[in-house]
Structure 1
Amino acid sequence: MEIYVDADACPVKEIIVREAKKRKIPVTMVIDTSHELSDGYSRIITVDKARDSVDIKLINLVSPGDLVVTQDFGVAAMALGKRAAALNQNGLIYTSENMDRLLFERHIGQKVRRSGGKTGTMKKRTSKEDENFEISLKKLLNELEKC
């Protein structure tokens, strides 16, 4: 098992590394060239800034039984398709049961934005979201370690 992180805008990298170190699980963070990252533990892979470069590289690395941390529903869907687990930065565990709804909501949001509409505002990250993420991360890692 390995943890793969769509790390460009991931606010929970420290939590991931902390938990991975405890369990001696390798972590790979994938970023594009507009970011710099070094945490002393993770393998860092830097790709070009082309659209979806990080996503494509990350999914090409994933194997069954791995864990992918991403806020991108499309990346999560591909991870599930490769029999990996997927988790977002707020603690939502992606599953085959919620993926159709999430992808449909993303599609509707894209249509609204393309027509000039707005789909909401970004809220400031809270410590509760970090707590939810850590709880879900531990739960998923416990499940994956049993396999």
Structure 2
Amino acid sequence: MTPTIYVDADACPVKDEVYRVAGRCGCHVVVVANAFLNVPREAWIERVVVSDGFDAADDWIAERAGAGSIVVTADVPLASRCVKAGATVIAPNGKPFSESGIGMALATRNLMQDLREAGAVTGGPRPFTARDRSAFLGALDRAVVRLRRSPPAS
């Protein structure tokens, strides 16, 4: 089975890497954003522009992602929804979201949000590095290979 890769694209730093892996492996890519984004003109890349409503892109992806699909996102609540639907979910830094770790990721995200709302200076995410990009490429490639070897869902 060849997976579909859904990209939560508004702030995704690894779109080019997704295109590279998908082109090599023959995957369909769906790039979902709240505004128009330039994407390569390839038959296997689909651009979806959703309304600018709160979580519109997340809702669109979560309604379609499931077993046999890969979701690329740094958004922990979206990752949680997609993991629960059976999708393979990878952060742009290459870290996979899993059923066993998604609860802790959500709790940490919620704690940090509460601290920021209370006025605590929490910094922000660390800068995105070449090592993150490389880790993502490896994680995406492994996920595609694993899903292609999986028997089709009946």
Equivalence for 1:81: 84
From 110, 117, 121, the counterpart of 1:118: 121
| Percent identity for Structure 1 against Structure 2 | 26
How much has 1:121 moved relative to structure 2? 2.9
TM-score, with normalisation over the residues of structure 2? 0.90
Residue pairs, 1:28-107, within 5 angstroms: 28-33=30-35, 35-41=36-42, 42-107=45-110
Return the letter of the residue paired with 2:16. E
Greater share of residues in helix: 1
Instruction: Answer yes or no: is 1:5 the counterpart of 2:7.
Output: yes
Return the letter of the residue paired with 1:32. N
RMSD: 1.2
Q: Give the SS at the match of 1:5.
A: strand
Inter-partner Cα distance in structure 1 for 2:8 and 2:101: 20
Inter-partner Cα distance in structure 1 for 2:83 and 2:69: 10
Q: Give the SS at the match of 2:89.
A: strand
Identify which of structures 1 and 2 has the higher relative contact order when contacts are C-alpha pairs closer than 8 Å and 6+ apart. 2
From 19, 22, 44, the counterpart of 2:21: 19
Greater mean deviation of Cα atoms: 58-67 or 117-126: 117-126
Cα offsets for 1:46-84 (capped at 9, x unmatched): 011111011001111213210000001111111111111
Where do 5+ consecutive residues of structure 1 fail to align? none
Aligned residues: 146
